[in-house]
Amino acid sequence: MSESLLPKNIAELKAYSSAKSEKLTGTTWLNANESPYAKEFQLNLNNLNRYPEPQPENVIKAYCNYSQLNPEQVLMTRGADEGIELLMRTYCESGKDSIAIFTPTYGMYKVSADTQNIAINELDQSLLLDGEVCEITQSVGNAKLVFVCNPNNPTGSLTPVSKIAALAKSLEGKAIVVVDEAYIEFCPEQSAVSLLQDFDNIAVLRTLSKAFALAGLRTGFLLANADLLVAVRKVIAPYPVSTAVALIAEQALSSDSVTQMRRQVAILNGNKTRLKTLLSESSKVTQVLSGEGNFVTLQLRNKCDIDVAMRTGTIMRPFTLFGEDNWLRISIGNEQELEQVKLWLEQPE
């Protein structure tokens, strides 16, 4: 009975398969681009009988200090994923409009569009990286939203800020360029936030899940100029952020915590360099993608080596990329976790 009530686009929808959707057992978790660092927070929860602030003032103020923006340019969301949903719900008309993505890239752009019956103009990541802006603009067509994951997940590739600016300029009055900066703390000099002072058609997605080590909090931010966000504020749920989440996010964005985050990022970037060296020297590996973010994506000579790692409790993320199913993404962990990867690579063929 219920199936007969489903809209066609939902009945045919292929759900996003997250790293945590499979029930895996292991001891070393390097499959979900999480931070290896955990932190304790202080909570005073004696007012849960009251609704929270729709946009918690202290958190918005703290993120403004961090991002060098004004409060009207910052919207707090339930992870960056809600920002993706909100932009589509606000600016795309179901059954009529389209978005543009550059694959391979983050899978939730497609799932969100399919859920809302929004067409997808699927372009190649190489066009974004190597194509001229006029060529990209022409290929984008009538897309209302153009998603640029930067650094890109799962390849780690970077689109220069100058190219994002040129793309936004060529699409003025036609489309919004959505820059997903989930991993930008690992290469902060590449952020497109500085472009907001010159462009009304750029939106930036941010999260506390990666460098801030708060994947379990589900907290993100949508950054854009006030006019763009006015419409989004109409669409967002009335109380999207719980009191507990706001309290933790405020502490995570204190100046001391931001300093600690940057120290941890420096350590993880160092570990990434060491991991890339190990991979480049391994006979198990045929190709390493040299990208940014807290992960390294590589191609294995023998796909069965993934199963060997899983059996020893080292959990990494298999991928099918460029038409081949022997790709693997390894999240950057701490020294002990890096050692487990090293032991796996050193196992005889």
Q: Could you tell me which CATH number the domain at 57-254 has? A: 3.40.640.10
What stretch(es) of the chain map to CATH 3.40.640.10? 57-254
Average pLDDT (10-37) is 76
CB 199 within 8 A of CB 169: yes
Which band of pLDDT confidence, cut at 50, 70 and 90, is reported for residue 7?
confident
pLDDT tens for each residue of 303-338 = 999 999 998 899 999 999 999 999 999 999 999 999
Average pLDDT (274-294) is 95
Q: Which two tokens stand for residue 177?
A: 């360029």
Per-residue pLDDT, 18: 56
Q: What is the pTM of this model?
A: 0.94
Q: Which two tokens stand for residue 23?
A: 């029930």
Which band of pLDDT confidence, cut at 50, 70 and 90, is reported for residue 23?
low
Would the pLDDT of 13 be above 90? no
Burial 6-30 (b: 16+ CB within 10 A, else e): eeeeeeeeeebeebeeeeeebebbb
Which band of pLDDT confidence, cut at 50, 70 and 90, is reported for residue 24?
low
Average pLDDT (213-224) is 97
Strands 74-77 and 220-224, sheet pairing: antiparallel
Would the pLDDT of 9 be above 90? no
CATH of 2-37+257-346 among 2.60.120.10, 3.40.50.300, 3.40.50.970, 3.90.1150.10: 3.90.1150.10
DSSP state of 238: S
Would the pLDDT of 16 be above 70? no
Q: Which residue has the higher pLDDT, 39 or 63?
A: 63
Burial class (CB in 10 A: 0-12, 13-18, 19+), 215: middle
The percentage of residues in the chain with a pLDDT greater than 90, rounded to a whole number, is 89
CB 82 within 8 A of CB 207: no
> Cα dihedral angle (188, 193, 195, 198), rounded to 10 degrees?
-150
Nearest residue to 224 (alpha-carbon basis) of 250, 241, 199, 191: 199
What stretch(es) of the chain map to CATH 3.90.1150.10? 2-37+257-346
The count of C-alpha atoms lying within 13 angstroms of the C-alpha of 346, restricted to the half-sphere facing its C-beta, is 8
pLDDT tens for each residue of 88-109 = 999 999 999 999 999 999 999 9
**Strands lying side by side in the sheet with 324-331:** 28-30, 314-321, 324-331, 295-300, 285-289
Per-residue pLDDT, 45: 87
Average pLDDT (297-306) is 94
pLDDT tens for each residue of 66-84 = 999 999 999 999 999 999 9
Per-residue pLDDT, 20: 55
Q: Measured between alpha carbons, how far is residue 138 from residues 127, 131, 171 in Å?
A: 11, 11, 10
pLDDT tens for each residue of 103-136 = 999 999 999 999 999 999 999 999 999 999 999 9
Average pLDDT (199-210) is 98
pLDDT tens for each residue of 134-184 = 999 999 999 999 999 999 999 999 999 999 999 999 999 999 999 999 999
CB 98 within 8 A of CB 144: yes
Average pLDDT (336-344) is 96
Q: Which two tokens stand for residue 79?
A: 């992870």
Per-residue pLDDT, 119: 98
Q: How many residues does the chain have?
A: 349
Distance between CA 243 and CA 259 in Å, rounded?
Answer: 24
Amino acid present at 239: Y
Distance between CA 120 and CA 215 in Å, rounded?
Answer: 28
